Chain A
Amino acid sequence: MKKYTYTDQKDTRSGFGVGLLEAGRENPNVVALCADLIGSLKMDAFIKEFPERFTQVGIAEANMMGIAAGMTIGGAIPFTGTFANFSTGRVYDQIRQSIAYSEKNVKICASHAGLTLGEDGATHQILEDIGMMKMLPGMVVINPCDFNQTKAATIAIAKYKGPVYLRFGRPVIPVFTAPDQVFEIGKAWMVNEGKDVTIVATGHLVWEAILAGEILETMGIDAEIINIHTIKPLDEAAILKSVAKTGCIVSAEEHNRFGGLGDSIAQLLITKHLAPQEYIAVDDSFGESGKPSDLMKKYGLDAESIVKAVQKVIARKG
């Protein structure tokens, strides 16, 4: 198992804030909008440097999505910022008609996704957003795993023409990816090569997958760990190549088991290469209030749960 260490712990939303500022410096067409959550989205630095390129919309997310769509006419590249819940479910029809169907170059940037939003509870802990967004034709869906990757993803999506959903979160977690990485949309990252099982993880589950890999190593199981940061378009070649070698797979995500990364992988396996799969995901329920780490443990989204799923899927290989 390749060793991953970290010297720093940060939230992915801060990676977005730094990336947005850098994207703004690189391209004068990059503009930002926010629905009364500047601090939560870490947009302060961008606003300080480019006050004329920021639009405060107030608590009116539907209006924000429409305005962002309209801004693209004339060449602006709008980044909208609010919580994941208000970036998707609340404004699904606005995104569908004015952004996705209209093929507008809007970057929907969503913080506080999933259970790790923590104490605010289920009203705010959206676990269905990846599903909603990946069903929209032409929508790119990205869920980076740490501060550095989120920063790189933010810079990368400014250079890509088309609608993007960028999902990140609130908790402070280890920073373990390279600081100056180049983010390639749709290209999986090989975290660790192995031969006994494939673990594909996205977002906050990638660090948990690394921890699981270390535990599995002590048990004599050699896990291949792949980070799928881009859920759509999916890097099918990377997954198929790995499963051809290992013969089984565990998917891990902070999302409902219906509609997320796991389902995308199951669909791929059914059509291209049959292999047993286990899901690490929320089992079709809403979340609840609590500390992020306690919630991740309770809902089975931690390294220990990944280890159990690996043992189960290896047993099913037959």
Chain B
Amino acid sequence: MEINELTKIASQVRRDIVRMVHGCQSGHPGGSLGCADFLVALYFNQMKHDPAFNMDAAGEDIFFLSNGHISPVFYSVLARSGYFDIVELATFRKINSRVQGHPATHEHLPGIRIASGSLGQGLSVAIGAAITKKRHKDPSIIYTLHGDGELQEGQIWEAAMFAPHHKIDNLIMTIDVNGQQIDGPVEKIMSLGNLRAKFEAFGWEVMHSEGNDMTSITTALQQAKLNTGKGKPICNLMQTQMGFGVDFMMGSHKWHGVAPNDEQLIAALAQLPETLGDY
């Protein structure tokens, strides 16, 4: 798919995100907006996947969202890819819905393979799925996404140690480096230091991408794919702006977990062209 087509989808996904969060007056718009381009690139351009959805995903690539609170972007991209009807997005965070606050398998929403929300668990899960792929001689790739604040969880580093040791080279981990977490800038709350140096020291193949530039992301993901199968797991440090696409939400932790009011919704939607039709 062409870059401009992907960009159009991302605009619609951003509309979905702000409308979903507004609709229930709860949820996490900031990180969702920042990662819209990445998830669109993955699902519409990079991943080999089947929206008919089979939990075991034999012969398919798998994506795990470890920072589950950015569920709006995940749900929108899944629905827009055909996993379920877009009208279901309107039920986000409401009672009797499959579209839970954080991703869950319990309600059998197609496209979700593990619950996430309690941070730091997705990399381990991805490694497990990657091992099963290898045992089955399935050459597919496992993708994950993590927040940078999420790296403060210790389990991430247990998994970061494991993956190179066991040569999990069918794994592409992307870290959303937006520099923000709920209580403030990551640098101020609990700085991560030199992430490239840290992951390289653990034995990962580390790369960089610009997460709000569709060309940069697609190129980076293609490069990452080429680097699979070479004995090392891959870590993509993806620079984004939290809230990207909505000027008053951009670059601040303040929109990490706050919903827009009616006026703010109108102002946000005015900046995001409707390209595929709202749900």
Contact = CB atoms under 8 A, between A and B. Distances in A.
Interface of A: 31, 52-53, 55, 57-58, 60, 62-76, 78, 93-94, 96-98, 101-104
Given A74-B57, A97-B115, A67 B128 contact: yes
A97 B117 contact: yes
B166 interface: yes
Contact of B128 (A62, A68, A75, A96): A68
Contact of A63 (B113, B132, B162): B162
A59 B183 CA distance: 31
9 contacts: A63-B155, A63-B158, A69-B128, A71-B129, A71-B132, A74-B129, A75-B56, A93-B118, A102-B115
B135 A66 contact: no
Interface string B157-188: 01101100110000000000000000000000
Given A75-B56, A96-B118, 4 more contacts: A57-B162, A70-B114, A76-B135, A101-B104
A58 B161 contact: yes
Contacts of A76: 132, 135
A72 B127 CA distance: 11
A9 B136 CA distance: 40
B154 interface: yes
B118 A97 contact: yes
Contact of A101 (B57, B106, B166): B106
B135 A98 contact: no
A101 to B, nearest CB: 5
B116 A97 contact: yes
Given A74-B58, A97-B117, A101-B115, A66 B128 contact: yes
A82 to B, nearest CB: 13
Interface of B: 55-58, 62, 64, 104-106, 113-118, 121-133, 135-136, 138, 154-155, 158-159, 161-162, 165-166
A18 to B, nearest CB: 24
Given A62-B154, A74-B136, A97-B117, A103 B124 contact: no
Given A62-B154, A75-B132, A103-B105, A69 B125 contact: yes
Task: Decide if the interface of chain A is mainly helix, strand, loop or mixed.
Answer: helix
Contact of A55 (B57, B115, B154, B166): B166
A62 B155 contact: yes
A85 to B, nearest CB: 17
Given A62-B154, A93-B118, A97-B121, A73 B162 contact: no
A73 B113 contact: yes
B56 A62 contact: no
B62 A73 contact: yes
Contact of B138 (A57, A70, A74, A104): A74
Contacts of A53: 135
B114 A98 contact: yes
A119 to B, nearest CB: 28
A70 B115 CA distance: 11
Given A66-B128, A71-B132, A74-B56, A102 B161 contact: no
Contacts of B106: 101-103
A124 B130 CA distance: 32
B124 A73 contact: no
A66 B56 contact: no
A70 B132 contact: yes
A31 B155 CA distance: 22
A71 B122 CA distance: 12
A103 B113 CA distance: 10
Contacts of A57: 162
A57 B162 CA distance: 7
Contacts of A62: 121, 124, 154-155, 158
B247 to A, nearest CB: 35
B161 A60 contact: yes
A94 B126 CA distance: 14
Residue from B56, B124, B159 having most chain A Cβ neighbours under 10 A: B124
Contacts of A58: 158, 161-162, 165
Contacts of A73: 55-57, 62, 113-114, 128-129, 132
A213 B155 CA distance: 48
B114 A102 contact: yes
A65 B136 CA distance: 21
Nearest to B160: A63
A30 to B, nearest CB: 12
A74 B128 CA distance: 10
B128 A70 contact: yes
A256 B269 CA distance: 57
Contacts of A65: 124
Nearest to A98: B121
B105 A66 contact: no
Contact of B124 (A52, A67, A104): A67
Residue from B117, B122, B127 having most chain A Cβ neighbours under 10 A: B127
A70 B118 CA distance: 16
Given A62-B155, A101-B106, A74 B117 contact: no
B117 A67 contact: no
A99 B104 CA distance: 11
Given A93-B118, A97-B116, A102-B115, A70 B127 contact: yes
A63 B153 CA distance: 11
Given A58-B161, A60-B158, A67 B105 contact: no
